[in-house]
Structure 1
Amino acid sequence: MRRNRRFPLLAAATATATAALLALTQLGGAHSAYAATLFGDDFSDGDTAGWSKSGGTWSVVTDGSPALQQAKGDTDNARLFAGSSSWTDYTVQARVKPLTLPANGATALLARASGSTTFYRLALLPGDQVRLESVRSGTATALGSASRPVAAGTWYTLGIEVAGSTVRGYVDGALVASGTGTLTATGRIGLQTRYATARYDDVTVTSGGTTPTTPPATVSPTATPTPTSTPPAGQSSVVARDGSGDFTSVQAAVNAVPSGNSSRYTITIRPGTYRELVTIPADRPYVSFVGSTGNAGDVVITYDNASGTPKPEGGTYGTSGSASVTIDGHDFTAKHLTFSNSFDEAAHDYSAEQAVAVLTRADRLVFDNVRFLGNQDTLYHNSVNSGTIGRAYFRNCHVEGDVDFIFGRGTGVFDRCEIRSLSRGSSSNNGYVTAPSTMISNPYGFLFTRCTLTTDSAGAQSVHLGRPWHPSGDVNAIGQVVFRDSVLGAHIKDSPWTDMSGFSWKDARFFEYRNTGAGATVTVDRPQLTDAQAPTYAAQKYLAGSDGWNPIS
C-alpha cells in the first residue's frame, strides 16, 4: 500500500475550477467535495511516528498489508493517540480486526480524546454488540448500541463522526448508533483495546464529517423542510376500481390530500390496473401509496405516453412529460405495488421512444417492494433543480428496462433489488442499466448494494452497466454510480461502462466493489473501490444528507 500519513494538520485549498472540484469528488482524495483529509496512516512505513503510546505491546505487522497490532491481551485500556488536540468537527475511520475478544474484552476507535480517560468510543464487544459511548474520567455512558455480528479474525471498518454535540457511529459504512455528547468539543483520535488484542489499518480523519453541517456553496443538499420529528399518523383513504372504496382513481385520492399536508396521509389501493396519469404535487408531502394485498403485482398504475407521443394541443410530451407517475411531494412512500409505462415500441415509429414509468423530483422518498416496468428510461430519478439533491431509498424492488432505464441526477440507493435488463434482440448491445447525470458538487449518485442483475433473454456480454449522461451538454453533470456486493449475470459486459454523446465514461465516477456472478469479471475497464474506500460508499452515506435521514432497515 502507498504511504498515506498526513501529519501534522494539512490545510485544504479551495477548489474553484471545475477540474479541481471534480478531483475532490473522485476517490483517493477527500471523502467528499467538502471534506479535507486531516490525517492518514496506513502504516506502510513500518513505524508509529505521530502516535503516542499508552500501555500494551504495539508493532507494525503484515496482514495483507502493513497493519498496527496491539498484542497484549491482559491490559485494560491499552491505546495510542494521534492528531491534534484542536480538532473539532471531523470523522475518524479505521479498519479494525479483533484477534482475541474475551467476555470482558473490547476493541475500539476513539474520537475527541482529550486525555487517556476522556473520549468518545465506538466499541466492538463480544456477544455481537457494537456500542457508541461517551467516556469521561474513565466512566462510560452509552449513547447508543446495535446488535450485529462481531467475530475475532474479521476486519471491520469503524467510523465516528463528531459534529457539534452530535456523535454518530458507523460499522462498514452503516449507521449503527447516534447520540448527543457533552464532552469537550475538541480532541485527538485513538485506537483502543480492553483485555483484547487487535490489528488496525487505514486510519483516516476528514474534516467536517461525512454529513456536513454547512453544504458546499454550489449546491443545496435539500430544499425539503427538515422535520423536527417523524410526522404523526394522519388521514387515510381507499382506492378501488369497483367503487367499494373512497375513490375509483388514484389521482382523485391524491387530490383529496389537503394542500400543505403535514402528517402522513395513507392511500390504500385495492387490486386492479389503474390506467391513469398520476402526479403528487409539491404541496402534498407525506403521501403513502400502499397496495392492499402485499403483492406488488396486484396493483398496477400505468399509462403509455412516450417522449415522441403527440400532445392534443400540439407538440410532443418529451421525456419528463411521458411519465406515468410524477412525484414532486417530499417524504412520499410506496409499498407493494407496480408503476409502469406500457408504451408499445413495436406499435409505434417515433423518433423519441423514451417512456418513463416514474419521475421523481422530490426528496426523502422510500419505495418498498415496488416494481418499475418499462423499456427505455423506465425510472427517472431526478431532483427539482440542478442545485438541489433529491434522495430515494429503493428496498426489495424490481426495476426493468433496456436503454438507460435508471437515470437522472438524483441520489438513490437500490438495496436488495432485482435489476432486470430486457433484450432488444441484439447479440452485442442490449442496452444500458444506468445513465446518471449527477452534479459535480454531489458526491453521491446511484448505489446498488446487495442487488441481483438479471435478464429476460439478453445474451452474454451484451449489456452495459452504464454511461454518463450530460443533459444539454452540461459539463458539470459528472455521473456517479457504484455497484457493490451484488450478483451480476452473464449478460453484463466485461467492459461494462461506455461513452455517451461524446463524453467519456472515464471522466465519470463509476466504480464496483466485491461483486460476484458471471458478469463480475474484473478487467482494466472496471474501476474497483479499495477496502478503505468502500465504507464511504455505503447506503447510509448516500442518504444521510444534512438532516441525518436514515430510512434503512
Structure 2
Amino acid sequence: MNHDVSKQRRRLLQASLTAAAAATLPPLRAAATAPPFDAIVARTPQPGARTFASVGEAIAAAPMEGRAPFRILVTRGRWHEKLVVDRPNIHLVGEDRSGSVLTFDAAAGMKRPDGEPWGTWGCASVTVRAPDFRAQRLAIENAFDYVGNLATPKFEPIGPNGAQAVALMLDAGADRCEFDDVDLSGHQDTLFADAGRSLFRSCRISGSVDFVFGGGNALFEDCELHSRFRPGKERQGYVAVPCTPARQPHGLTFLRCRLSRDALIPDASVALGRAWRPGRTFADGKYGDPDAVGAAAYLSCWMDAHIDPKGWDAMGYTARDGKRVMLEPELARLFEHDSRGPGAHQSPTRRQIDPTQLAMYTRERVLAGWMPEA
C-alpha cells in the first residue's frame, strides 16, 4: 500500500515538473512546430533564417506578389520604425507579446520630412495596404506624448487638435487581416480600421479619444478595450467611432469584449462611441460624407462603470452648405445586445439589436464569407 502511494506521488511530481518546465519555455520554442520563418528581425545574426536589422528591411525582402505566407519573426526589443506593409501575405510573429514592440511617435500635426503635416491618414506607426496580413504575439504602439501635449501643445492643429496619433491603420488594399494576441496602444485614434475585413482575437486596444475608428469591417472577439486617463477632461473619451459606408452591412463589431479603464477615470465619463462623417472633397466642395452611416455593435460585452449610461454621443461635421452640424447617434447604426457589468444600462438612448437580427452577427455573416482558420 505504501509502495503504491509512493509510486503515485513520484508520478505526480514528475508530471508537475514536466508542466513547470513547459511553462518556462520561451515563446520562441512554442512556435517551433509552426512553418519555418522566412526572416528574423534581431540585433545580432540568428541561425536558421535570414536576419535583418529592422522590420522594414524584412518586409522589403518579401515577394511583391507573394501567394504564400512570408513569416517574419520579430525578436524582443523596441523597433522604432514607421512601417508600411504593401506586399500580400506578410505574417509578423513576435517572440514576446509585451517584449516585441513596433513603435513610432508621429502625430497628425507633426511635420513629415517634406515639411507638410502627417495628418491622421499618414501618422500611423504601422500601415497595412495589402491583403492577408497577419500579426501575432507582439505590440504595436504610437508613443506620441499625448498627455504632455495637452499641457503644452507643440504644433498647429490638424482637424480638432493635431494630436491624432494612430498606432495601426488598415488602409486601402488591406483585406482579410488577422490579429491574434496583439497589444495596440495609443491615445487619440489608436486603431484606424478603414478598409477591408479584419479579425482581432484576444487583443488589447488602449486609448482615449476615438480609439477604435474607421470605415472598415472589423470584428473583435474576446478583446479588451481599455480607456486611458486624460487629465482635465470631463468627457474622458469615446471607444468606437465608425464611418461605415451606407451600403456596408457591418462596421465595428465587438463580441464578448471587455471595456476597462485606468483607475483615475471617473464613472460615466466615457461614451460607447459616436458616428463619424469625415470630410471628403466632392465636385461642389468639401464637406462631411453623406454616405458615411456609421455601424457599430457591442454583443455580450462586459462594461465597467466608466461607460456613460446614455451610451453614445453626437459628433460634429461640416454640412454641404458649410454649416457645422451634429450627427446624432440615432441617425447612425449604433446598437448593443446583452451588455453586462456596471456600465451596462437599459435606456432609450442605448438601442438594442432586434432579436430577429442577431443571426446577422455570426462570424461568417460579419466577415462576408471569409472564414479565417482557428
Instruction: Give the Cα separation in 2 of the matches to 1:404 and 1:254.
Output: 29
Structure 1, residues 397-440: CA drift from partner, whole Å, max 9, x if none? 00000000000000001000000001113563101001100000
Instruction: Give the Cα separation in 1 of the matches to 2:338 and 2:232.
Output: 29
Which residue of 2 is the match for residue 481 of structure 1? 296
Which residue of 1 is the match for residue 57 of structure 2? 252
Which residue of 1 is the match for residue 203 of structure 2? 397
Structure 1, residues 343-384: CA drift from partner, whole Å, max 9, x if none? 01215513210000011120000000000000000000012x
Say if 2:165 is the partner of 1:355: yes
| TM-score where L is the length of structure 2 | 0.80
Instruction: Give the Cα separation in 1 of the matches to 2:294 and 2:177.
Output: 21
1:122-521 → structure 2 map (5 Å cutoff):
236-244=38-46, 246-281=51-86, 284-292=87-95, 295-345=96-146, 346-347=148-149, 349=153, 350=155, 351=157, 352-361=162-171, 362-383=174-195, 390-426=196-232, 428-457=234-263, 458-472=265-279, 473-501=288-316, 502-521=326-345
8 A contact 2:214–2:241 mirrored in 1: yes
Which residue of 2 is the match for residue 125 of structure 1? none
8 A contact 1:436–1:446 mirrored in 2: yes
Which residue of 2 is the match for residue 538 of structure 1? 362
The 3-state SS of whatever aligns with 1:376 is: coil
Relative to structure 1, the CA distance from residue 494 to residue 426 in structure 2 (aligned partners, 3 Å threshold; closer, same or farther) is farther
> What is the aligned residue count?
308
The 3-state SS of whatever aligns with 1:429 is: coil
Q: Which has the larger radius of gyration?
A: 1
The 3-state SS of whatever aligns with 2:43 is: coil
Give the C-alpha shift of residue 396 in structure 1.
Answer: 0.2
8 A contact 1:540–1:552 mirrored in 2: no
Matched to 2:342, the amino acid is: A
Instruction: Give the Cα separation in 2 of the matches to 1:393 and 1:241.
Output: 31
Instruction: Give the Cα separation in 2 of the matches to 1:331 and 1:311.
Output: 29
Instruction: Give the Cα separation in 1 of the matches to 2:277 and 2:219.
Output: 21
Gaps of 5+ in 1: 1-232, 384-389
Give the C-alpha shift of residue 532 in structure 1.
Answer: 2.0
8 A contact 1:447–1:539 mirrored in 2: no
Which residue of 2 is the match for residue 10 of structure 1? none
8 A contact 1:451–1:487 mirrored in 2: yes
The 3-state SS of whatever aligns with 2:98 is: helix
Give the C-alpha shift of residue 552 in structure 1.
Answer: 6.0
8 A contact 1:254–1:280 mirrored in 2: yes
Identity score, percent: 36
Instruction: Give the Cα separation in 1 of the matches to 2:356 and 2:328.
Output: 26
| TM-score where L is the length of structure 1 | 0.54
Relative to structure 1, the CA distance from residue 449 to residue 375 in structure 2 (aligned partners, 3 Å threshold; closer, same or farther) is same
8 A contact 2:76–2:99 mirrored in 1: yes
Instruction: Give the Cα separation in 1 of the matches to 2:231 and 2:305.
Output: 16
Instruction: Give the Cα separation in 1 of the matches to 2:215 and 2:233.
Output: 30
Please state which structure has a larger fraction of its residues in strand.
1
Gaps of 5+ in 2: 1-34, 280-287, 317-325
Relative to structure 1, the CA distance from residue 413 to residue 304 in structure 2 (aligned partners, 3 Å threshold; closer, same or farther) is same
The 3-state SS of whatever aligns with 2:327 is: coil
8 A contact 2:37–2:73 mirrored in 1: no
Which residue of 2 is the match for residue 550 of structure 1? 371
8 A contact 1:235–1:264 mirrored in 2: no
Instruction: Give the Cα separation in 2 of the matches to 1:326 and 1:248.
Output: 20
8 A contact 1:427–1:462 mirrored in 2: no
1:7-46 → structure 2 map (5 Å cutoff):
none
Which residue of 2 is the match for residue 83 of structure 1? none
Instruction: Give the Cα separation in 1 of the matches to 2:354 and 2:254.
Output: 17
Instruction: Give the Cα separation in 2 of the matches to 1:329 and 1:377.
Output: 21
Instruction: Give the Cα separation in 1 of the matches to 2:238 and 2:83.
Output: 27
8 A contact 2:202–2:221 mirrored in 1: yes
Instruction: Give the Cα separation in 1 of the matches to 2:253 and 2:76.
Output: 32
Give the C-alpha shift of residue 311 in structure 1.
Answer: 2.0
Matched to 1:238, the amino acid is: I
Higher relative contact order (CA 8 A, sep 6+): 1
